[in-house]
Amino acid sequence: MTRVACIGEAMIELSMTGSTAGVGVAGDTLNTAIYLKRLAPDLHVDYVTALGDDPFSDQIAAFIASEDLGTHRIERLTGGSPGLYAITTDDAGERTFTYWRSAAAARQLFANEDFSALDGYDLVYLSGISLAILPPSVRRGLLDHIISTGQQLAFDSNYRPRLWESADAARAIMGAYWDAAHIALPSIDDEMDLFQETTQQVQTRWRKATCLGALKQGPEGPMPIGNQITQSYPAADTVVDTTAAGDSFNGGFLAAHLTGKDPAHALMSGHMMARQVVSQRGAIIPRDP
């Protein structure tokens, strides 16, 4: 059985409708892990993070377990607590985020630079957000560990400038992760922002890549990475909330790829999962909408 470790930060999510908030659990790599497991239930998928010992951390851990994800790699830190964020959306479904995460327990993940918890996995998935909340030495040590073990690396830059000490630091470490990635799942807006490139420059750079993956381009559909594939992608009938569009694409793509489907199928699987997610509110849609 293929074993997957998804690394990142699970947070309490407040989804705002006017002055009313729906309370849930989400986080970019957690969103991907959930959709990956839903679409490929025979895969062994664990979520790797750190939580506190408070009631909200208990709620997050229970939620992760309810999605059939492994929780035995979740560190529980005495006195710690999770991060929190609120989402507001405009009439076009575009999101605005407000975060309270500076003291989140997930920032202490791998604090002793012991990465042995990742041993035994076939694939490690993480994002630029996963890296941004970690100290620089842990970011580098994590990459060195993955390379030394020969594990497959799937990566999504998911660039959030406010989480980084500088744009130069983000470019340097994420460039190193891109160089090592076996599966690349960048978004064109993030790549333009991070590397200060035009749309065409980003597309040209990724057409030269030798890894497998997809350059996510929103409603236009993905550009294949590592393959020459031509197919059309249906637009969403209704866009209510674009939260987790990229995360759900990643889950759909990885589910198809890791269960032996061809690249064209993986691209379509990712797109159709994202298409479904943006038609509803919140990062995690019901299992049987």
Query: Which residue do the tokens 């299992």 mark?
Result: 287
CA dist., res. 73 & res. 242, Å (int): 30
Partners of 187 in the beta sheet?
A: 216
**Which candidate, 201, 199, 208, places its Cα nearest to that of 179?**
208
Task: Give dist(CA 98, CA 78) in Å, integer.
Answer: 26
Cα 69-73-76 angle, rounded to 5 deg: 110
What are the two backbone dihedrals, phi and then psi, of residue 96, each rounded to the nearest 5 degrees? -130, 130
Alpha helices in the chain (DSSP H): 28-39, 55-66, 128-132, 136-149, 167-180, 188-195, 199-207, 245-258, 263-277
Query: Cβ of 209: how many Cβ atoms within 10 Å?
Result: 16
Q: In whole angstroms, give the CA distance from residue 215 to residue 208.
A: 12
Q: Which of 28, 46, 156, 247 is catalytic?
A: 247
Instruction: Identify whether 190 is a catalytic site residue.
Output: no
Residues forming the active site: 247
